[in-house]
């Protein structure tokens, strides 16, 4: 499949809130169509940020490109969307980093134990710099896509539970924790004693009600976007499992068909929303924290020393984990060097 992905890419594009021309009008004017597929619902911060991009791009390229954003897995779930791009069924997607490491292992670097409990600024320093650019290049080569630019935020991912409170790491023993995907997510949680279970986001609320899982790995804003306290979530363990971001990928085949001026407009429009989108995500997480409190979710925050101790405790397993994930040792060493400084 990976070989297939390297040879193929995409073909159309997507918008968040029904932007301008309908598809029939676009066809009648012979406009290229950019369909953007995202999985989160209409209330999610990622939906709002990608919608902002789609709206600005539609305005900038009106009469040249039709932009359509399909959220709430209206086209594809994120776990399926890379193949959909490869098969030409959609032109653009903004999947989470945790969905890409099975195609391009280097993305999984940021899910490794050495980033557990780290601050956002440390993640930005690496992802927005030379290492991030190298990883974007590798994503493009492995998936047959163009990465439009810097990644947008979701915000810190923590752990949440239904019946059993998580007051310390030892409480995770044997808990069935839903994860969105990612080999490193699974192995990191296993190292903490939990049992990771992949469940697509649209199926999660019912899984919580049915108690198929005991909890989940996600963010405050994501819990709030689906009002998961109404599905049983009662506790949160704010341990910064990792710092999730979304990667803007567009079909290389579609990209090559566009004239240079349109490519420039698309990349500049994406760049124009990145910092704004990150601020929106941070605000959404802060507001979500207060909403969770108001709705009776008990939030425990381990201190800096506890996080550092747990990170160091997981580090002896990191080399084996990175090897299992297929991460380039040379790239891993570069990241170690930056973190050391």
- Note the pLDDT of residue 29: 61
- DSSP codes of every residue in 209-224: HTTSSSEEEE-HHHHH
Angle ∠(120,185,201) on CA atoms, nearest 5: 90
Q: Which two tokens stand for residue 276?
A: 């704004």
Q: Are 116 and 241 in contact (CB under 8 A)?
A: yes
| Residue whose tokens read 């991912």 | 157
All structural domains of the chain, each given as residue ranges with its CATH number in brackets, are 2-153+245-286 (3.40.190.170), 157-243+288-340 (3.40.190.170)
Spatial distance between the Cα atoms of 160 and 297, rounded to a whole number of angstroms? 9
Question: pTM here?
Answer: 0.82
- Note the pLDDT of residue 118: 92
Assign residue 177 a region: left if phi > 0, alpha if psi is -120 to 50, beta otherwise? Answer: beta
| pLDDT values of the chain reduced to their tens digit, one per residue, 341 residues | 444 444 333 333 333 333 333 444 444 468 899 999 999 889 888 999 999 999 999 999 999 999 999 999 899 999 899 999 999 999 999 999 988 988 999 999 998 999 999 999 999 999 999 999 999 999 999 999 999 999 999 999 999 999 999 999 999 999 999 998 777 788 889 888 999 999 988 899 999 999 999 999 999 998 998 899 999 999 999 999 999 999 999 999 999 999 999 999 999 999 999 999 999 999 999 999 999 999 999 999 999 999 999 999 888 888 888 998 899 999 999 999 998 76
Spatial distance between the Cα atoms of 88 and 242, rounded to a whole number of angstroms? 32
């Amino acid at each position: 499949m990976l070989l297939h992905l390297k040879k193929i890419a995409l073909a159309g594009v997507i918008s968040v809130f029904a932007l301008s021309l309908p598809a029939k009008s676009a066809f009648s004017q012979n406009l290229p169509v950019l369909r953007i597929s995202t999985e989160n619902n209409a209330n999610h911060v990622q939906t709002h940020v990608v919608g902002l991009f789609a709206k600005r791009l539609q305005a900038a390229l009106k009469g040249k490109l039709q932009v359509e954003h399909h959220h709430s897995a209206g086209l594809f779930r994120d776990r399926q969307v890379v193949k959909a791009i490869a098969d030409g069924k959609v032109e653009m997607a903004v999947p989470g980093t945790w969905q890409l490491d099975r195609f391009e292992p280097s993305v999984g670097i940021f899910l490794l134990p050495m980033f557990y409990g780290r601050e956002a600024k440390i993640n930005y320093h690496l992802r927005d710099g030379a290492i991030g650019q190298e990883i974007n290049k590798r994503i493009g080569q492995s998936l047959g896509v163009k990465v439009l630019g810097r990644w947008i935020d979701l915000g810190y991912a923590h752990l949440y539970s239904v019946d059993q409170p998580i007051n310390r790491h030892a409480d995770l023993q044997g808990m069935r924790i839903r994860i969105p995907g990612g080999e490193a997510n699974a192995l990191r949680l296993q190292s903490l004693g939990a049992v990771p279970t992949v469940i697509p986001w649209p199926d999660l609320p019912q899984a919580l009600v049915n108690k198929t899982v005991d909890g989940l790995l996600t963010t405050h804003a994501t819990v709030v976007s689906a009002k998961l306290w109404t599905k049983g979530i009662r506790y949160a363990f704010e341990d910064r499992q990792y710092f999730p971001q979304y990667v803007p990928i567009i079909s290389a085949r579609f990209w090559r068909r566009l004239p240079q001026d349109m490519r420039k407009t698309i990349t500049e429009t994406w760049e124009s929303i990145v910092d704004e989108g990150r601020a929106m995500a941070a605000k959404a997480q802060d507001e979500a924290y207060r909403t969770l409190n108001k709705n009776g979710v008990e939030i425990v925050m381990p201190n800096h020393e506890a996080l550092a101790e747990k990170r160091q405790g997981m580090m002896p397993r990191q080399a084996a984990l990175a090897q299992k994930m297929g991460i380039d040792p040379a790239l891993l060493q570069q990241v170690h060097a930056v973190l050391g400084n």
